[in-house]
Every structure is written in C-alpha cells, then in structure tokens.
C-alpha cells in the first residue's frame, strides 16, 4: 500500500452524501461515473442516519446532500432533520427540478440551512438543451422561492464552450435572482465531461475574456453577492490541491454506500473502496487502504517527490493523472513540471479542431442508455 | 462599510455560529464554508444579538473580562465581520 501513515489522520470536516444516481437531467458534464447504471442499490434511511451520526462524531460539520438529484429520495426531509439534530450545516445541492414551495418550507422546518440551485445557461433554449430537460423557467421560480423562504441562495453555473459566451447574461441573471453566492464552475474534465471534452473545452482566449468580465462584475457586487470561481486547470501551470489533501478533509459516500476520498475516486484502479455497510466511518477514515492510499508523500514519484511545492498541491489530482497519463502515481499533467504536460496542449488542440470542424459529433448526454452503452 | 455606532448589531440570519466539540472552538458556518474563531472573536460575535450597539458590546466585554481600552480592537474586528457578511445593522 502506498502512503502508509504513522500518525493519526486529521478528522473529516466535509461529508458529501450522494443519496442517489437517479436524476431527471442529462447534463453532459455530470460528475457521476459513466458506468453509474452498474450501481443500482441505494442505502436505506437507517444506513444514511448511521453514516451521518458516525461522521459527525468524528468532526464532520459541513454536509452536502447531493446525487444525482437528491429530491428523488423520499426520505430527504427525514435525513435533513436527523442532520440538524446532530448539528450539521446542511447544503442541498439540487437541479431544482421538482422542488415545490411546499417542499422548500418542509425542508426549512426540518432544519436545512442552504439550497444550491444549478442553472445550465442564461437562456431557456440553451439551458433546456444542456439539461436535456425543459427546466429553465421552473429553476428560476425555485431560485425566487429559495430566497423568499430565507435561505442563503447559491446559484451554480457550470461553464463550458457552449455557454461561456453568455457570461454577461449569466451574471445579470444571478443579480436579478438575488443570489447570495454565484458559483462559476469551469468544467472539470472527469467522467462525462472527460467523454465530452472536445465539445466542452473552451479556448484560452474564451476563458480569459469570460474571467475578465466576471472579475469586473465582482467589484460591482461587493457586499451583496460573493463569487466562487472554480479555475479552469487546463490553463494553469500548477495543479489544484486535490481535495485539500487526500483523506484530510473530505469524505464522499456514494449511493450504494461506497466511501470515497473524492467523488471521482471510483474511477481509480485498485483502491478497494470500502462500503459503509461493512465498516464504521471511523474504521474507513483511519484504517482503510483507500483513504490511506495517497496520504502523506511516500507514494510520490518524480518530479513531485523532490518538488518544493509538494506540500502546497500534493501532486495535484490523481484522477486527472490516471485519465490523462494512465498512471495515478504520476504528477497531475496540468503541472508544467510534469513530463506528460504535453497531453494538456494536445487536449486543447483537439478541442479547438473539433470546434472548427464542419461535422462535429453531438454531445453525449448523461442518461441510462448512454451509461449502459459505455460501461 | 463601517459600523454605525448608534445602531444595534445583528448576527447574520444566513450564517450560523456554533461550538464544535471535535475542534474545541467556535465556528461560523455558511454555504459550503466554515471560519474557525478564536475565543475573543467568538465572545464579540455572541453579543451581536440585535439588542446592543457598539458601545454596549464594548462595555459588556470590558466588564466581563475586568479590563478597559477594548474599543479599537472590537471595532476593527466588527468591521471585518461586517465586510464578510457575518453581522449586519438592518
């Protein structure tokens, strides 16, 4: 096992509860695994309550109810209530699809702290195309209702080549809807987004223009709206500090109960990620092979091992190293020190070529049919 | 943004101040984020309950800790808190 550690790890602070892979939307950059249809079983209510209780006892305090679409779980309100009783700060990460005013009130009474609504674009036509579902007007109504009932509202817009030109309209929409926070999430290329990368990755010029517009807007809304900007790492020369360090802060539990050090880690080979039905959260966090795999720096190869920045970015993202170089022990190729850094430019060139091509292949939407086809 | 000395100070309704047993400290929780507080910051914020203005917060804390001359430190911290949206005067 790589990265065997001698000292007790820091306890988890963040629990991402992926309640289900079911979702009425079909976003082509979904972070769920491509082969999600293979994992049909879902934890039951008692399993989730036990997971919440055990993680809270270790020190987890931020809790994300996510999916898929978490609203498809009939026991969501009961789980929110349990989380509130335990002292979690609960975040509902939703498409807004199917969220009624009655449900918003019910969740508030159960103790939900915050609702994050995702919108795919600033126009109905593009939103409904990307989401694969007619949902734009309903999402806007939901955003208004979230505010009306006193929740802080985070509007999340995933940015890619199809909508990056709408940046001014996206910002105006966030202001009009009264968002307290706007998350501009440049697509991260894993799972479905990796499969669609040629169609989603913008050019550097597009990124720079959009970023400048967002930056100028930020100044005008100081004190009213906070902007979280998820950086497009393909255009950086140092990798992101993956998960704030593997197994230091974040714990994801997938719908079937598999515990993951990051929500993409299911794609990595040989981790043997443990299931919460077999082990307690404490055993999983402290003792499992998966959570110890990349702790510390014993696992590192060059150029990471001797790098003076290794404690800053921890070698970057292992899923990206695996997807782009075939070896998860390699440095994240986003890093300009990586011998594989050329694959990033190849990806950028390939996407640019695809954008100029007369017969670009269509987007691969995230749905069960495509999942089964690709598994 | 500066503190209006005449108006009472409220803790934000969209943030939560809470004691964390595992960390042995008070924290502010907000959408997808957390700020860890030292003891004095937590003591100040606990008094931002919509019943006190700046001078009353200072005098309550000076009394509680049997000291004086806290005005500048408390004002500086509250201005940071105001800018971060942890408190308001509406």
Structure tokens at A358: 């007369």
| Whether B13 and A89 lie within 8 Å, measured CB to CB | no
**Among A194, A288, A266, A188, residue whose Cα is nearest residue A18:** A266
pLDDT of amino acid A87: 97
| Whether B34 and A116 lie within 8 Å, measured CB to CB | no
- Buried b / exposed e over A332-353, threshold 16 CB at 10 Å, is bbbbeebebbeebeebbeebbe
Which band of pLDDT confidence, cut at 50, 70 and 90, is reported for residue A1?
very low
Place of tokens 């999430």: A185
Omega into A257 within 30° of 0, i.e. cis? no
Alpha-helical segments (H) within chain A: 45-58, 76-86, 101-110, 124-131, 136-148, 167-177, 191-195, 197-200, 204-220, 281-287, 289-292, 310-313, 318-325, 342-356, 368-374
Please give the average per-residue pLDDT across A177-203, as a whole number: 95
Rounded Cα distance, B49 and B10, in Å: 5
For the cut 50, the answer to whether the pLDDT of residue A104 exceeds it is yes
- Which residues in chain A are closer than 8 Å to B32, comparing Cβ atoms? 62, 64, 91, 114, 116, 154
Rounded Cα distance, A198 and A214, in Å: 24
Which band of pLDDT confidence, cut at 50, 70 and 90, is reported for residue A4?
low
Range of lowest pLDDT (A160-169, A188-197, A222-231) = A222-231
Structure tokens at B44: 């100040």
pLDDT of amino acid A98: 87
**Which of the residues B16, B30, B34, B81 would you substitute to probe the A interface, choosing the one with the greatest number of A C-beta atoms within 10 Å?**
B30
The ipTM value here is 0.89
pLDDT of amino acid A37: 95
Rounded Cα distance, A196 and A190, in Å: 9
Residue range A300-333, pLDDT digits in tens: 999 999 999 999 999 999 999 999 999 999 999 9
Instruction: Please report, rounded to a whole number, the percentage of residues in chain A having pLDDT higher than 70.
Output: 98
User: For the residues of A5-62, what is the DSSP string, one character each?
Assistant: -SSPPPPP-EEEEE--S--S---TT--S-TTGGG------HHHHHHHHHHHHHHT--E
pLDDT of amino acid A206: 95
Alpha-helical segments (H) within B19-66: 39-46, 54-64
How far away is chain A from the Cα of B31, in angstroms, using its nearest Cα? Answer: 6
User: For the residues of A303-342, what is the DSSP string, one character each?
Assistant: TTTT-TTHHHHTTS-HHHHHHHHS-TTSPPTTSTTSTTTH
pLDDT of amino acid A38: 94
**Among B74, B72, B89, B82, residue whose Cα is nearest residue B6:** B89
For the cut 60, the answer to whether the pLDDT of residue A2 exceeds it is no
DSSP class of residue A94 equals: E
Rounded Cα distance, A51 and A278, in Å: 12
Which band of pLDDT confidence, cut at 50, 70 and 90, is reported for residue A358?
confident
User: How large is the C-alpha radius of gyration of chain B?
Assistant: 13
- Which residues in chain B are closer than 8 Å to A179, comparing Cβ atoms? none
A157 bridge partner residues: A184
| Whether B31 and A114 lie within 8 Å, measured CB to CB | yes
| Whether B14 and A151 lie within 8 Å, measured CB to CB | yes
Rounded Cα distance, A127 and A163, in Å: 9
Query: What global pTM score does this model have?
Result: 0.93
pLDDT of amino acid A224: 86
Q: With a cut of 50, list the residues of chain B below it in pLDDT.
A: none
pLDDT of amino acid A361: 86
For the cut 70, the answer to whether the pLDDT of residue A14 exceeds it is yes
Rounded Cα distance, A180 and A184, in Å: 13
Residues 6+ apart with CB under 8 A from A361: A198, A199, A354
């Amino acid at each position: 096992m790589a990265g065997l550690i001698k000292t007790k790890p820091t306890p988890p602070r963040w629990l991402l509860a992926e309640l289900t892979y079911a979702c009425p939307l079909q976003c082509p950059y979904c972070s769920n695994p491509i082969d999600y249809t293979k994992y049909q079983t879902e934890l039951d209510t008692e399993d989730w309550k036990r997971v919440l209780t055990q993680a809270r006892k270790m020190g987890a305090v931020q809790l994300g109810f996510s999916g898929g679409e978490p609203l498809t779980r009939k026991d969501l309100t009961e789980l929110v209530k349990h989380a509130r009783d335990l002292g979690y700060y609960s975040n509902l990460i939703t498409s807004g699809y199917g969220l009624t005013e009655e449900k918003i009130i019910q969740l508030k009474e159960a103790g939900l702290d915050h609702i994050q609504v995702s919108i795919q674009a600033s126009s109905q036509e593009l939103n409904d195309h990307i989401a694969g579902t007619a949902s734009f007007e309903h999402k806007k109504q939901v955003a208004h209702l979230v505010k009306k009932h006193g929740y802080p509202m985070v509007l999340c817009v995933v940015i890619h080549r199809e909508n990056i030109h709408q940046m001014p309209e996206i910002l105006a929409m966030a202001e009009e809807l009264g968002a307290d926070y706007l998350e501009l999430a440049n697509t991260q290329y894993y799972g479905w987004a990796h499969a669609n990368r040629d169609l989603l990755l913008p050019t550097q010029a597009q990124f720079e223009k959009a970023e400048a517009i967002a930056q100028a807007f930020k100044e005008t809304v100081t004190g009213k709206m906070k902007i979280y900007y998820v950086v497009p790492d393909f255009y950086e020369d140092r990798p992101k500090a993956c998960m704030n360090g593997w197994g230091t802060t974040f714990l994801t539990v997938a719908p079937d109960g598999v515990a993951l050090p990051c929500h993409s880690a299911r794609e990595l080979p040989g981790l043997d990620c443990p299931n919460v039905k077999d082990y307690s959260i404490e055993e999983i966090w402290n003792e499992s092979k998966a959570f110890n795999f990349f702790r510390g720096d014993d696992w590192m190869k060059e150029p990471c091992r001797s790098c003076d920045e290794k404690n800053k970015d921890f070698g970057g993202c292992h899923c990206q190293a695996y997807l782009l170089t075939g070896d998860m022990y390699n440095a994240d190729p986003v890093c300009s020190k990586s011998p594989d850094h050329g694959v990033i430019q190849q990806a950028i060139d390939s996407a640019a070529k695809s954008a100029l091509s007369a017969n670009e292949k269509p987007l691969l939407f995230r749905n069960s049919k495509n999942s089964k086809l690709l598994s | 943004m500066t503190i209006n000395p005449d108006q009472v100070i409220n803790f934000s309704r969209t943030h939560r101040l809470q004691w964390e047993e595992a960390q042995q400290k008070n924290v502010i929780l907000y959408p997808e984020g957390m700020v860890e507080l030292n003891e004095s910051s937590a003591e100040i914020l606990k008094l931002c309950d919509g019943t006190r203005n700046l001078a009353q917060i200072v005098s309550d804390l000076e009394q509680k800790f049997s000291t004086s001359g806290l005005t500048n430190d408390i004002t500086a911290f509250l201005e940071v808190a105001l800018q971060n949206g942890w408190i308001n005067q509406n």
